[in-house]
Amino acid sequence: MKKSLFALCALGVAVSGAHAQSSVTLYGVIDTAIAYANNIGGHHNFYMNSGNLQGSRWGLRGAEDLGGGLKAIFVLENGFNAFTGALGQGGDEFGRQAYVGLQSAQFGTVTLGRQYDSVVDYTGALEVGSQWGSGYSAHPGDLDNMNNTNRVNNAVKFTSANYAGFNFSGLYSLGGQAGEFNRNQIWSFGAGYASGPIVLGAGYLNVKNPNYSFFGNNVNSRAATATPSASNFGSSRVINGYASAHTLQVIAVAGAYTYGAATFGATYSNSQYKDVGSESGAGLIPAGGFTSGTGKFNNVEVSFKYQVTPALLLGAAYDYTKAYGLGDAKYHQGVIGADYFLSKRTDLFFDTIYQHASGTDSTNHTAVANINQLSPSSTSNQVAALVGLRHKF
């Protein structure tokens, strides 16, 4: 009798699982490096850096089969500093991503939470800084967010199913400001295509009150009724003179073509920090900075990578940034790198970056070199190099 009851219970569990199968996956990346910069405020520096080829992270990814081709899904992803254990993204527990949604194999996916915009989704992966290059290799100041510096809070996102290699998505973030429907709102859309050796992507991003709704996301979690009191744009002189802008608009396209062991890539973006001077607050306009107008950038990146052996990848890239509207700075940036895989999950990497600046930057002063994620140089040139170890689990 006891054996029969046990068998019946086991059968019941098995049948229940067949109707509502679920899974939860723990994953992560630990990315560490020893880095060098030749000029940070006039001084060279050797230091340890966490999050280079990828931000160090751990996450949980889950799915529950609801039947009829429908699934409930979620992602909770935390960012951290591997050398100190400190939380990333301004101290948010799940600052990289946090969302839940429904996924249909036929129609697509709807998700709600903290998520990536369409520029990141469709063009970011084709930028060198998100591939074999480090975050230092990203476009100056990550002015177009292709390197995913900023996420989007309070977002509703739809991503289509894959139609013969083509898919598209749209995102909307509610501003949460009573009586001011448009304030702090973010919307974005994009599309991508991948077939054989060709990968193409395009994205559009529109952010109202970016110092608070977008850049503030990386400093602290924004509350619905808070107001910005200081610049959240960080130290990059490429863009921090535009913290008082009313709107950020980014249009981006990217593509890659693989021929044998070689891959040729290119990205283009136009970024506009509109109506500078519209937002008030201490430090939003630097001393002697621009008080009106629109700061604009054209950015072009071309890259080449070669899979020398299954374990060894070599890469090189050139990036050109031209400011106009407010300021006329030019940034020339060259990158070379190597990535050697000890296994599918562990690799050693090397990356070096050189940048030269000229003209007038966003602060309305003579432009200085300012490699992404570094403090400004005291001259028109800056060099950074790093060697590191990454492990995925």
pLDDT digits (tens, 9 = 90+) for 199-258: 999 999 999 999 999 998 765 444 433 445 689 999 999 999 999 999 999 999 999 999
Is it the case that residue 82 has pLDDT exceeding 90? yes
Q: Which whole-number Å values give the CA distances from 66 to 29, 109, 199, 273, in the listed order?
A: 30, 14, 33, 44
Is it the case that residue 328 has pLDDT exceeding 80? yes
Q: Which whole-number Å values give the CA distances from 349 to 265, 385, 393, in the listed order?
A: 20, 11, 18
pLDDT digits (tens, 9 = 90+) for 134-187: 999 999 999 999 999 999 999 999 999 999 999 999 999 998 777 777 889 999
Q: Scan for tokens 């967010």, then name that residue.
A: 145
Is it the case that residue 7 has pLDDT exceeding 80? no
Residue 152 phi/psi, 5-degree rounding, is -120, 120
Please give the Cα distance from 263 to 131 (Å, whole number).
12
pLDDT digits (tens, 9 = 90+) for 27-65: 999 999 999 999 999 999 999 999 999 999 999 999 999
Is it the case that residue 131 has pLDDT exceeding 50? yes
Q: Would you say domain 22-392 falls under CATH 2.40.160.10? A: yes
Can you give the pLDDT at residue 283?
Answer: 83
Can you give the pLDDT at residue 17?
Answer: 44
Can you give the pLDDT at residue 228?
Answer: 59
Q: Is the whole model's pTM more than 0.75, yes or no?
A: yes
**Which span out of 9-18, 247-256, 283-292 was modeled with the highest average pLDDT?**
247-256
Residue 48 neighbours by CB distance under 10 Å: 14
Q: Are 375 and 359 in contact (CB under 8 A)?
A: no
Domain boundary assignment for the chain: 22-392
pLDDT band at 20 (very low <50, low <70, confident <90, very high): low
Would you state the structure tokens that stand for residue 258, as one six-digit string? 């693989």
- Among 18-22, 79-83, 127-131, the least confident range: 18-22
Q: Scan for tokens 């903290």, then name that residue.
A: 114
Please give the Cα distance from 256 to 192 (Å, whole number).
12
pLDDT digits (tens, 9 = 90+) for 260-269: 999 999 999 9
> Residue 280 in 3-state DSSP?
coil
